[in-house]
Amino acid sequence: MITSDAFRGKRYVVLGLARSGMATVEALLASGADVTAWDRRPGPREALAARATIADPLEIQLAGFDGVVVSPGVPLNTHPIAERARAAGVPLIGDIELFAQARAGLPPHKVVGITGTNGKSTTTALIHHILQTAGVPTTMGGNIGLPILGQDPLPGGGVYVLELSSYQIDLTHTLDCDIAILLNITPDHLDRYENFEGYAASKARLLKMQSRDHLCIVSRDSPASFNIYQDLRDHRPRGNVLSTTQDDVADQSAWPTLKGPHNAENVAAAKAACKNLRLTDQQTERGLRSYPGLPHRMERIGEHIGVLFVNDSKATNPTATAPALAAFPRVHWIVGGLPKSDDLDECAPHFGHVVAAYTIGEAGPHFADILEPHMPVERCEMLCEATKRAIAAAKPGDTVLLSPACASFDQFRDYETRGDVFRKIVAKLTGQPAAAAELCEFSARSAA
């Protein structure tokens, strides 16, 4: 794990003891800090009872603590911990801020931070993979992979590659990335921000935390990110502000898992970062060719009687779903879940690729109303029923695509669980059709 003398003798509250919260507590304790920890679940509290103070931060005096460490999932705009911390004059921070404070004690290294609305997971994993194949010590963390404080420090010359959501950036104050990448910004998570401008400003803070001599790479492929690029260009040395666009990538034929305009944007940013990290073009190309892709992101999970099955469960908003619809000529589209928007406008240019839609979840009835003037729609509610009907209708050359354009929380714990359930349903229904009813029961239990 990553520890630091910067934490020794200090006092912290850690609210939320899931994976990153537990890693944070362990790192702070190992660094000699005094930790008060809390989770609404008794199990994690009991696991730490002998080594940390167990107390609800909403019920104790916060004055005198050096930080309140909260999970990115805690909504700062509505949760009472935010106001209590402000009133006590105690900073609200996350594990990324603790990592930033620990950097001075780590072997010489660089940090690449990636944010944006869509594509940041792929870009993070892609840069990490290219570095790995080139023999550079590297690890990835933040909003992907293992909690950063729970990982072993890299040796000298290593590169930490961090995917950073707006929630994580909101809890970070001193992370000076050697390279900061801003991809597209489109409406998302607006329940956490006053408006879209506030959401975009949260993303831009990653670049504003940088030293002037460090590099920022900004995509021109969305108006909001392009506006940020123009502002930075006016206030930073020109050589330290680069812009990229999907048009920078003309030929994707040699990269089997990086097809489509959205991946061209990701590749353009990754190539610019790797060049700055002094990798050769040959090293970068080797990584692009061998990149395996991410689970749940346009993941080809199999083919049966000429029908392709694609798990794109990570597409939790319409902007993320649009590239998947564009990528396949005849699509049986499973769509719905907990909606983040009231429309599917971003997907509309690709409705011509959809043979039929199968709506599920809370958004199902409304999405069905939107789609029925444009295509056949089957109202299914549950994922298993939608998959079963899509398989029955699909013909050789068609694609059955789970790309929900919605969050998963109405029926599943997270998008990974939703994608895993889809994978299991497809395997069962294509291998043992007689077991369809059993699988639908399994799907319903998973949704509960």
Which active-site residues does the annotation give?
120, 143, 189
The candidate with the shortest Cα–Cα distance to 82, out of 94, 73, 70, is 70
Cα 274 from Cα 60, distance rounded (Å): 47
The pair of structure tokens assigned to 182 is 């801003």
> Which position has the token pair 């392709």?
308
d(CA 384, CA 372): 21
Residues 6+ positions from 117 with CB-CB distance below 8 Å: 183, 184, 185, 186, 188, 203, 222, 317, 319, 320
Which residue, 122, 52, 36, is CA-closest to 85? Answer: 36
Rounded CA separation 186/196 (Å):
8
Alpha-carbon torsion (210, 215, 219, 223), positive or negative: positive
For the chain, the helix, strand and coil percentages under 3-state DSSP, each to the nearest 5: 40, 20, 40
Integer angstrom CA distances of residue 310 from 416, 418, 432: 14, 13, 19
> What are the backbone angles phi and psi of residue 299, rounded to the nearest 5°?
-85, 120
Angle at 410 between CA 324 and CA 329, to 5 degrees: 15
